[in-house]
Amino acid sequence: MDVQLVQLLLNLKGIAIYAIPFVVGILIGVVLRKKLTERKIASAEEQAASIITLAEKEAQAKKKETILEAKDALYKEKADVEKELKEKRTELNKTERRVVVREENLDKKSDLLDQREKEIARKEEKASQRQNQLLELENRYNELLGKEMERLERIAQMTVTEAKEELMTRLESEAKAEASSRLKRIEEEIKESAQHKAQEIISSAIQKCSSEHVAETTVSVVDLPNDEMKGRIIGREGRNIRALEIATGVDLIIDDTPEAIILSAYDPFKREVARRALEKLMSDGRIHPGRIEDVVNKVKKEMSTIVKEEGEQAAFETGVEGMHPELIKLLGKLKFRSSYSQNVLFHSKEVAYVCGAIAAELGEDAQMAKRAGLLHDIGKAVDHQTEGSHTQIGVELAKRYNEPKIVVDAIAAHHQDVEANSVIDVLLQAGDTLSAARPGARREMLETYIKRLQNLEKIADSFKGVEKAYAIQAGREIRVIVVPEQVKDHEVGYLAKDIAKKIEGELAYPGEIKVTIIRETRAVEFAK
CATH number at 498 reads: 3.30.300.30
Distance CA 497, CA 515 (A): 8
Indicate whether 233 and 113 sit together in one domain. Answer: no
Indicate whether 492 and 511 sit together in one domain. Answer: yes
Indicate whether 264 and 384 sit together in one domain. Answer: yes
Q: Is residue 514 in a domain?
A: yes
Indicate whether 401 and 279 sit together in one domain. Answer: yes
What's the confidence (pLDDT) of residue 102? 87
Indicate whether 58 and 85 sit together in one domain. Answer: yes
- Whether the CB-CB separation of 333 and 269 falls below 8 Å is answered with yes
- Global pTM reads 0.48
Hey, CA dihedral for 295, 301, 304, 310, is it positive or negative? negative
Q: Which residues contact 265 (CB under 8 A, 6 or more apart)?
A: 218, 249, 250, 251, 271, 274
Q: Is residue 13 in a domain?
A: yes
Indicate whether 10 and 100 sit together in one domain. Answer: yes
Q: Supply the angle between the helices 344-362 and 423-437 in degrees, to the nearest 10.
A: 130
Number of other residues whose CB lies within 10 A of the CB of residue 342:
21
Given 406, 437, 468, which residue is the final one in a domain?
Answer: 437
- Whether the CB-CB separation of 272 and 303 falls below 8 Å is answered with yes
Q: Residue 397: which CATH number?
A: 3.30.1370.10
Indicate whether 117 and 166 sit together in one domain. Answer: no
Q: Is residue 151 in a domain?
A: no
Indicate whether 112 and 189 sit together in one domain. Answer: no
Indicate whether 424 and 464 sit together in one domain. Answer: no
Indicate whether 75 and 4 sit together in one domain. Answer: yes
Q: Is residue 214 in a domain?
A: no
Q: Is residue 526 in a domain?
A: no
What's the confidence (pLDDT) of residue 52? 85
Distance CA 115, CA 120 (A): 9
Distance CA 176, CA 178 (A): 5
What's the confidence (pLDDT) of residue 273? 84
Distance CA 248, CA 65 (A): 132
Listing DSSP states for 321-351 in one string gives: ----HHHHHHHHHGGG-EETTEEHHHHHHHH
Q: Is residue 143 in a domain?
A: no
Given 137, 171, 189, which residue is the final one in a domain?
Answer: 137
Given 437, 465, 494, which residue is the final one in a domain?
Answer: 437
- Whether the CB-CB separation of 420 and 413 falls below 8 Å is answered with yes
In terms of phi and psi (left: phi > 0; alpha: psi -120 to 50; beta: otherwise), the region of 399 is: alpha
In terms of phi and psi (left: phi > 0; alpha: psi -120 to 50; beta: otherwise), the region of 474 is: left
Indicate whether 307 and 420 sit together in one domain. Answer: yes
Report how many helices (DSSP H) and strands (DSSP E) the chain contains, helices first.
Answer: 14, 8
Domain that holds residue 189: 158-208
Domain count for the chain: 4
What's the confidence (pLDDT) of residue 215? 44
Number of other residues whose CB lies within 10 A of the CB of residue 279:
14
**pLDDT tens, N- to C-terminus, the chain (528 residues):** 566 666 666 666 666 566 676 767 777 777 777 778 878 888 888 888 888 888 888 888 888 888 888 888 888 888 888 888 888 888 888 888 888 888 888 888 888 888 888 888 888 888 888 888 888 888 887 887 777 777 766 666 666 677 677 767 777 777 776 776 677 777 677 766 665 565 555 555 555 554 544 444 556 777 787 777 878 888 888 888 888 888 888 888 887 777 788 888 777 778 888 888 888 888 877 888 888 888 888 888 888 888 888 889 888 888 888 888 898 888 888 888 877 667 888 888 888 888 888 888 888 888 998 898 998 888 888 877 777 788 888 889 989 999 999 999 999 988 877 888 888 888 888 888 777 765 555 555 456 667 888 888 999 999 988 989 988 876 788 999 998 888 888 788 888 888 998 988 888 776 678 899 998 877 777 777
Q: Is residue 486 in a domain?
A: yes
Distance CA 32, CA 36 (A): 6
Indicate whether 180 and 229 sit together in one domain. Answer: no
- Whether the CB-CB separation of 355 and 320 falls below 8 Å is answered with no
- Whether the CB-CB separation of 262 and 219 falls below 8 Å is answered with yes
Q: Is residue 83 in a domain?
A: yes
What's the confidence (pLDDT) of residue 213? 46
Helix (H, G, I), strand (E, B) or coil at 253: strand
